[in-house]
Structures are given as C-alpha cells and as structure tokens.
Amino acid sequence: MNRKIRIAVLVSGGGTNLQALIDAEKSGVLTSGEIVCVISSKAGAYALERAKNAGIDALTISRKDCRDLSEFEAGIVKALEDHGAEVIILAGFMSILSEDFTKRYANRIINVHPALIPSFCGKGYYGLKVHEEALKKGVKVSGATVHLVNEVCDGGEILAQKAVEVKEGDTPEKLQRRIMEQAEWKLLPEAAEKLCRRLLNEKKPETPSFTLRKWELSDAAGLAETINKVDRKYLTDGIPNPYTEKDAEWFITEMAQKGEAKNTGIFYGIVVDGKAVGNISVEKRSDLCSKVGVIGYCLIPEFYGRGIMTEAAKRICAEAFEKLDISRIEGTIFEPNMASRRVLEKAGFELEGVLRDAFYKNGKLYNEYVYGLVKGE
C-alpha cells in the first residue's frame, strides 16, 4: 500500500468543510493524504459526529476549559503527535494559533477563508462577519481562499482562490452558502491533495552526522557564537545577552573542565562539520540528591527537527550513568518549549509531574514539566 500523509482536521462547529474533505477522500479527489483524527475546540460540535460517522478518531480539546492558550495548544500538540499527524487542516477552527505553534508546523497548516484575501481578512473576520462586511462594501465578487497558516492571521502564502458572484438581494447567509458550495468545498480538498502530494515527493533532509566534543578554551568563540544563535526565549534569564567570548571562557574553565575533573558533570559541544551547533550537559547538582543528575541542552534553530538533539541526549545520558555516580537524570522544561519536551520523551524520559505557574519569564508565569530517566530503563 502506498504511503499517505496523515492529516488532522481542526474544527469548532458544524464541520461542512470537514465533510467536503471526507467526501473527497472517498471519491478519490484526496488520494495522497488520509484523515486520521478530528480535533474540536468545542464540546458537542456536530463536526465530531461527522468524524465518528466516517470512522475517524474524534476528540475534544476545549479552549474554554484550558487556563490559557499555551495549555490549549499543548493538548493539541499531544493529540497530533499521538496520531502521527503530518498536515493540519483548519476547517472552521475558531481559535488563532500562536507563533510557536505555527512555526512548529511551518508550511504544514492550511486554512480556508471565506473571502478573497487580502479582502475581508485578519483578526475578527470569521463566519458571517466576513460576508456582512462584503455586502456592506457592495462588492460584486467575493469567494474563498486556501492559504498556508503562519504567525500573521490570514497572512500565509495563498495556495488557491476562487471567485464567486455576489447577487442582488443576497443576505450574509445566502452568500455564505454559495461560497461554500461553489468555492470552499472544492478548493480545500484540492489544496489538501496538492500539499500532501508535494510532501510525499519531497526528499527529507538527512540527519547530519555529528560528534560530541569536550569544550576546550580554544572553542570559546564558537561557543559564544552558538549561544547567541539559540532562540533566547528558551534560555534562562541567567544567560548573559549577548553571550561574550569571556562568558564562554568562564563556562569552559569553571563548569566544564572543573566539573569533569571532579567527576561532577559531563559537558559537550554538539559539532557538525567541524563547527559547534549546540551544547549538551549532564551535571550533578549540590542542591539535589547526590544520585541525581540534571540534563541541559540547546541547539541553533537551523538544526531543529533533524533528530540531533534526541540522539545527543541518548548518548550523554548513557555516558553519565556509566561515569557519574548517579541513578537518575532529571530534565525540566517550561512552556511553551514543546519541542524540548519531545526531545526528552523520545530519549526515554518519562513525565513525572507538572509544576503549575512555576517559572516566571518576560512578565508571564509558565508551567514547568518535570521529566525523569532512571538508570537501566
């Protein structure tokens, strides 16, 4: 059987666009992808019944029941990963996704908007509001647009558009129905098929070979350059900004070399093609049980999603259990760094608890996720 791209559809209401996708899959319009789950932001949405009737896994992650957007998106990410989703289709999904979320799934989220972007789009333009504004302006043509989703509301690359005539005597409801029938229900499945086919034909970049190398004073400039390229919202406030070569020299001398000499830690640079692209360590901490080590790591953004950090974590943890007198390694991740949570999970760490409002950064409280890896597991 030929491989198909696994699709998750996010909904909030009746699910007419979802039904168009389901019908397209049955009729052969959508052949390069398969809908594996439907996630609703509202309990009781009829779209969930459509999914169940089609034998598709359906679940609710209620926006109103979540404390904030971060918790809401964390639930969606968990569901997407549980289902192995590769493409996300927003089909009447009434929540604006964060920049962290859209970057995580860059060029893999598509949305259908009931107007010809850039007209009648952006924050606040959804549902009947779009058609009400179109009629107020007196436009003679409206339509639908399928576009990629990025951090700008309705601002991603346009994949397809179709114009629909506005008729004399139209109400917002009449215009909405005509645009759905003549444009949305056709464009969305076609665009989904094109995106899935393109992904199937793409050659995935190979994971580059890398080495773990002990830091030497001669590496100070490279370490400083690496730290300054890392996304700073995932670094603690204690990291100098900018991180200078002198900061790097201090780290190498006081932390890495002395820690290794005293057998209290392992500190490595992650090196690709002779150049440091990240940092990883397991350190015994005096404020914790003497048998516990703490893992820390960072990677420059252009190497995200390549499997490097997961493999590096596996290697250093195995070495730490062998060389350091520890029986457990702990990792803590604060929201919204979902990517780091997945690194730990894929490296074998288990979620042991969530500390609510545990980390304060940039004027906001974040949850802290505590993971543990036990020797021999």
Q: What is the 3-state secondary structure (H, E, C) of 248-310?
A: HHHHHHHHHHHHHHCCCEEEEEEEECCEEEEEEEEEECCCCCCCEEEEEEEECHHHCCCCHHH
Same structural domain, 277 and 176: no
pLDDT for position 232: 64
Q: What is the CATH number of the domain that holds 237?
A: 3.40.630.30
Q: Are residues 161 and 249 in the same domain?
A: no
- One-letter amino acid identity for 23? D
Tell me which range, 20-34, 260-274, 287-301, is most confidently predicted by mean pLDDT.
20-34
* CA-based nearest residue to 47, from 19, 15, 24, 8: 15
pLDDT 10s digits, 82-115: 888 899 999 989 888 888 899 888 899 999 988 8
Token pair for residue 63?
Answer: 């926006």
Q: Which of 167, 201, 235 is the last residue of a domain?
A: 201
Does 167 share its domain with 240? no
User: Does residue 323 share a domain with residue 181?
Assistant: no
Q: Decide if 263 is inside a domain.
A: yes
Q: What is the pTM of this model?
A: 0.58
Q: Does residue 189 sit in the same domain as residue 332? A: no
**49-80 confidence digits (pLDDT tens):** 999 999 999 999 998 888 888 889 989 988 88
Whether residues 324 and 304 share a domain: the answer is yes
Instruction: Please name which of 304, 231, 236, 233 lies closest in space to residue 270, comparing C-alpha atoms.
Output: 304
Closest CA to 16 of 177, 165, 142: 177
Q: How far apart are CA 2 and CA 197, in angstroms?
A: 12
Instruction: Specify the pLDDT at position 1.
Output: 45
| Same-domain pairing of 269 and 323 | yes
Q: Which of 265-274, 303-312, 321-330, 355-364 has the lowest mean pLDDT?
A: 355-364
Tell me the C-alpha distance between 109 and 195, whole Å: 10
Q: For all residues of the chain together, what is the average pLDDT?
A: 87
Quick: pLDDT tens for 115-174. Answer: 888 888 878 787 788 898 889 889 999 989 999 998 888 788 899 898 999 999 989 999
| Residue 25 and residue 172 in one domain | yes
Note if 113 is an active site residue. yes
Query: How far apart are the two ends of the chain, measured CA to CA in Å?
Result: 35
Distance from CA of residue 321 to its chain's centroid? 31
Structure tokens at 58: 């359906």
Separation of alpha carbons 45 and 60, rounded Å: 9
Q: Is residue 112 part of a domain?
A: yes
Q: Is residue 286 part of a domain?
A: yes
Say which range, 70-79, 101-110, 265-274, 332-341, has the weakest mean pLDDT: 332-341
Question: H-helix or E-strand containing 59?
Answer: strand 57-60
Is the pLDDT score of 194 beyond 70? yes
Average pLDDT over residues 307-331: 92
Into how many domains does the chain fold?
Answer: 2
Cis ω on the peptide bond leading into residue 242 (within 30° of 0)? yes
Token pair in block for residue 180: 């759905």
| 6 in Cβ contact with 83 (< 8 Å) | yes
CA dist 122 and 30 (Å) reads 28
pLDDT of residue 177: 92
Do 267 and 163 have their domain in common? no
**pLDDT digits over 210-222, tens only?**
999 998 898 899 8
CATH number reported for the structural domain that contains residue 10 in this entry: 3.40.50.170
pLDDT band for 287, please (50, 70, 90 cuts). Answer: low
Contact 100, 338 (CB under 8 A): yes
4: pLDDT strictly greater than 60: yes
Is 206 inside any structural domain? no
Give the end of a domain, one of 140, 173, 201.
201
Q: Are residues 63 and 171 in the same domain?
A: yes
Q: Give residues with Cβ within 8 angstroms of 7, minimum separation 6.
A: 21, 33, 34, 35, 36, 85, 86, 87, 88, 89, 192, 196
Range of the domain at 184: 5-201
35 and 169 in a single domain? The answer is yes
Q: Which residue in this structure is represented by tokens 């089909």?
A: 91
Q: Are residues 224 and 193 in the same domain?
A: no
